Amino acid sequence: MRLPVLLSATILYACSGPAAPGTPLSDTPTVAPAEAGTGPSPASPQKVSTPDSSGLIVITQPRAGDTLSGTVLITGKARGPWYFEAEFPVRLTDPAGRVIAQGGARAEGEWMTTNFVPFSARLRVPKGAPRAARLVLEKANASGLPEHADSIVLPVFLAVVE
C-alpha cells in the first residue's frame, strides 16, 4: 500500500510544472561546498544555462550552487523587454533578503527588440559575507507597477574570505 501512495506523490510532484517567475530554483544551494566550483566540471558541457519560467532570461554563468568569490562575472541573455535603457538590476542577497552587493547588468547589443540580447555584469563579493546567498537578476521596471515586475533567483555559495 505504501508504494502506490509514494509513487502517486512522486508523479504529482514531478508533473507540477515550472515555478512562478521570481521563485528561487531552490531555497538553498544543493551542491556541497567541496563539490562547488566556479566553472563547468570536466564531465559537464561547456555552457550550462539556467532559464526562468517566463522565457525572458537565461543565465549562462554562474550556475545554481556555484561558489563565488572576489569579482563575479555574471553572463547570459535576456529578451529586450527585460531591459530598460539597456540595463537591469543585479543583487547578491543573504537568505533573509538583505543586500550584500548590487550593480547593474548591461546589454551587449541592441536591446530594443523582443529577441535575446547578451548581457554581462560584475559584482564584488565583500569580505565577511555570509556563506549562503542568492543571486537576484531583476527585470527593469521603470513603471514600478507590480504586474511588470519579474526576477530570477539563483542560490549560490560565497567563499569565506577574512
d(CA 127, CA 130): 9
- Domain-wise residue ranges, the chain: 21-158
Determine the topology of domain 21-158 in CATH.
Immunoglobulin-like (2.60.40)
The torsion region of residue 4 among left (phi > 0), alpha (psi -120 to 50) and beta comes to alpha
**In the block, residue with C-alpha cell 568569490:** 69
pLDDT in tens, the chain (162 residues): 443 333 333 333 333 333 344 434 433 333 333 333 333 333 333 334 455 667 899 999 999 999 999 999 999 999 999 999 999 999 999 999 999 999 999 999 999 999 999 999 999 999 888 899 999 999 999 999 999 999 999 999 999 766
pTM of the model: 0.68
